[in-house]
Structure 1
């Protein structure tokens, strides 16, 4: 008997465990009664960044099948907003707030497990707030829960070298598009927070996003590396950017690898910059022309243009990009370029201590014009075409082409002329025969400035000359008379005699007095 009791106890325990395991997991509402089922939400708020897709958690405890229940998601604010409605086994969003349209959904496959969470896509700052998950078909006292959604926004900070101050370098860090308002601080390479140059500058835009900016003056260290950190504790986000500050001996003046090519009348830029991109607002920048006499083209000093000694030919035609100086861009803009502007220009920054404190920019200026074509006559059964184009520099090349692009042999070399301003005019003739298209092209090009101009001409088909078989009457009267007179001398003599006879007869008639109407009547009476 003593051995039987422990055996029965063990058997009953196994049966109880097996029954418990077979009943675990999914329950019908009737297993507990709707009064025993509760709606449960998260203990902490949901934190998201603008643009994210997020889940607002909500579930039934125990895990009762919710496929046949009504699930209402609403927004709790001044006016209750319908965010999402699930009813009769499907989504029913007829009265959904428009701002949530196409952005909400439930996990249909998870409803049988009591998961009634809501997925919200492309979250915006205006989505932040309290959301209620409510199941009205439950009879329990806990048939709803509230989920708090907190939405933030972040961006990467941008660092620039803002100039110099005493013996240090002024760094600036700026970061926009934050929400809520963040904190900003500067650190050295060891992670030590540096004392900034005053409190941070803050600004909030019309969308509620914050921009923060802060300066710090740093001295040379063993690494010359510094970090700007921006963080927001409420959304638990942080962004960092590091910068390496070069010593003044590391900064170099850099120009373009190729010459700058422009056409007369253009506005052009002579490139020049600092590498790395050190702020040049407090530096001296000199642009000069390298010729027999070094001309002052443009001078920037003490934070402004200083062109007292500027060459008169450049007056009111030069400028630097003031907004770009902080990025190390010291390029020069030159407007209304002329042929005389061509040459070598020096970009020089004397305040640098590096060996490479200047660079040279080569400017090449050209001039072009459209060629003019014309038909000037015929030659040997062909038509002679002329092409002329003036106002070119440097001297261009000219050629004639047919409609297929084949270069035609011209009537001798081109005629060239250079005027007092140094501009070239070129002229060339070509004799062409009739083709299937009768279209020909004059091309003028200049390789040094990489420019080409073309003009096409259509040569009309000549009017056919009448054949001898054509009847004489079809010819014009003047042509007919000329042909007769030239072709028959006898006919010419006959015509002359006929003319003389007609003249003499006319003179005889004028000698006889003409009878009046009265005389004619008298004669008529006498005859009667």
Structure 2
């Protein structure tokens, strides 16, 4: 009979009746987004003569202390009971069942999310004793290297953008000059997605001071840099309407200049898909390489982009809605003084355009504009009297490259 009592006492002692101490990590557990991590927790017997105590018959509950004790994982009666588990942890947690007999109550957390960072409680309850420990999880995502984009240029200034993605928490982002000194920049922008924080910082770089700029992203001991030399970056592309053809197609030209190497221009539709077009025509002058690229658009699309292939964010666009015909010059005859009376006419414009006459680069005094609206489009005419010989140009003020010209010979 004494043997029976001893056996029962030993079974009770090793399977839930024994008092225990709990152990957890002394430092935060650090994990990267998307990784699998173990949150350490274990129970140890208070009695020094015991090597371990089993948690198989105990209740083990993991919860988020900082989220109103939301249930992360619940084990009881030798099975998982996760009916009340927080939905964000569904399918991502597990205990090491084969290790419970040795007192290991650690939690496996799979596919760590940035929202998983916080304070956790590991609580173990036996029939006669319970205890808990806290575990701090820090989610630190080491993001990607910074990427520098050229957005455009204006009057010798180059507009730069630096992006770095996938960080947690928000990292430092700064611009430096070639000597490593910080350069004043815009306000850092950040937004958060499932992978962490994405950060962005703009800079207006002046090529007169230094031509090399560095973008640095830093989080703790992790530092990444990217540099750019802005020497030879030319002007932002400019899109102009050149004219219209007989079939109603609109002729566009894209131009850029001031490059140290030949730029390549591309035309894109409103979805920014590349359009088939001719090659970039380039020439070299005192300011460097200049490039132009023409296209005639006949589709129902209304917005078109032109970009520099070497720097895809250097682009401009045009909306061709409401653009009518190119100017047409008609000789109407002569006046009493021998001057040649010229008429310039455009049709089919959605908004009322302005016509201007030029000769030798100078604007000419011209007659009053005649404007007529029909079916929601405008027809506009304007006269001028050509005195003497020369080339006379009629131009749409809103689109200076949209013009027609006529050469007048000297009257014999």
With normalisation by structure 2, the TM-score equals 0.51
Distance (Å, rounded) in 2 between the aligned partners of 1:108 and 1:361? 70
Distance (Å, rounded) in 1 between the aligned partners of 2:182 and 2:154? 15
Distance (Å, rounded) in 1 between the aligned partners of 2:280 and 2:16? 90
1:331 aligned to which of 266, 272, 283: 266
Give the corresponding residue for 1:146.
134
Q: Does the 8 A contact of 2:148 with 2:228 survive in 1?
A: no
1:202 aligned to which of 142, 167, 189: 189
Distance (Å, rounded) in 1 between the aligned partners of 2:122 and 2:60? 7
Pair 1:75–1:315, CA change in 2 (3 A): same
Q: Does the 8 A contact of 1:196 with 1:217 survive in 2?
A: no
Distance (Å, rounded) in 2 between the aligned partners of 1:43 and 1:54? 16
Which structure is richer in relative contact order (CA contacts within 8 A, separation 6 or more)?
2
> For 1:193, what is the secondary structure of its paired residue?
coil
Q: Hey, which of these two has a bigger chunk of helix by percent?
A: 1
Distance (Å, rounded) in 1 between the aligned partners of 2:90 and 2:255? 47
CA displacement 1:454-490 (0-9 Å, x = unmatched): xxxxxxxxxxxxxxxxxxxxxxxxxxxxxxxxxxxxx
Q: Does 1:231 align with 2:218?
A: yes
Q: Does the 8 A contact of 1:320 with 1:333 survive in 2?
A: no
Q: Does the 8 A contact of 1:197 with 1:217 survive in 2?
A: no
Distance (Å, rounded) in 1 between the aligned partners of 2:212 and 2:223? 17
Give the corresponding residue for 1:124.
113
Give the corresponding residue for 1:245.
229
Pair 1:315–1:119, CA change in 2 (3 A): same
Q: Does 1:61 align with 2:38?
A: no
Computing the radius of gyration over CA atoms, which structure comes out larger, 1 or 2? 1
Q: Does 1:318 align with 2:252?
A: yes
1:213 aligned to which of 198, 201, 204: 201
Quote the offset at 1:149 in angstroms: 2.0
Distance (Å, rounded) in 2 between the aligned partners of 1:343 and 1:100? 53
Quote the offset at 1:57 in angstroms: 1.0
Distance (Å, rounded) in 2 between the aligned partners of 1:216 and 1:161? 10
Quote the offset at 1:86 in angstroms: 2.0
Give the corresponding residue for 2:162.
173
Distance (Å, rounded) in 2 between the aligned partners of 1:81 and 1:334? 50
Pair 1:206–1:243, CA change in 2 (3 A): closer
CA displacement 1:147-180 (0-9 Å, x = unmatched): 1223344532221234557777554312245443
Quote the offset at 1:34 in angstroms: 6.1
1:193 aligned to which of 176, 180, 183: 180
Q: Does the 8 A contact of 1:28 with 1:65 survive in 2?
A: no
CA RMSD of aligned residues (A): 4.6
Q: Does the 8 A contact of 1:319 with 1:332 survive in 2?
A: no
**Uncovered stretches (5+) of structure 1, i.e. residues with no partner:** 1-26, 249-277, 286-299, 323-327, 336-341, 364-528
> For 1:150, what is the secondary structure of its paired residue?
strand
Q: Does 1:93 align with 2:87?
A: no
Pair 1:358–1:199, CA change in 2 (3 A): closer
Q: Hey, which of these two has a bigger chunk of strand by percent?
A: 2
Give the corresponding residue for 2:148.
159
Distance (Å, rounded) in 1 between the aligned partners of 2:278 and 2:36? 58
Distance (Å, rounded) in 2 between the aligned partners of 1:321 and 1:58? 66
> For 1:47, what is the secondary structure of its paired residue?
strand
Map 1:468-507 to 2 at 5 A.
Answer: none
CA displacement 1:2-42 (0-9 Å, x = unmatched): xxxxxxxxxxxxxxxxxxxxxxxxx9984899665211111
CA displacement 1:279-333 (0-9 Å, x = unmatched): x5x34x6xxxxxxxxxxxxxx2xxxx344xx3553973426599xxxxx762246
Pair 1:66–1:311, CA change in 2 (3 A): same
Pair 1:329–1:239, CA change in 2 (3 A): farther
Aligned residue pair count: 267
Quote the offset at 1:182 in angstroms: 2.0
CA displacement 1:386-425 (0-9 Å, x = unmatched): xxxxxxxxxxxxxxxxxxxxxxxxxxxxxxxxxxxxxxxx
Give the corresponding residue for 1:488.
none
> For 1:194, what is the secondary structure of its paired residue?
coil
Distance (Å, rounded) in 1 between the aligned partners of 2:132 and 2:283? 71
Quote the offset at 1:133 in angstroms: 0.6
Q: Does the 8 A contact of 1:29 with 1:65 survive in 2?
A: no
**Uncovered stretches (5+) of structure 2, i.e. residues with no partner:** 1-9, 46-51, 257-262, 271-275, 297-412
Q: Does the 8 A contact of 2:71 with 2:86 survive in 1?
A: yes
Map 1:18-417 to 2 at 5 A.
Answer: 30=13, 37-62=20-45, 63-77=52-66, 79-137=68-126, 139=128, 143-156=131-144, 157-163=146-152, 171-187=160-176, 193-204=180-191, 209-215=197-203, 217=205, 227-233=214-220, 238=222, 240-245=224-229, 247-248=231-232, 282-283=235-236, 300=238, 305-307=239-241, 310=242, 312-313=244-245, 316-318=250-252, 330-332=265-267, 346-348=280-282
> For 1:195, what is the secondary structure of its paired residue?
coil
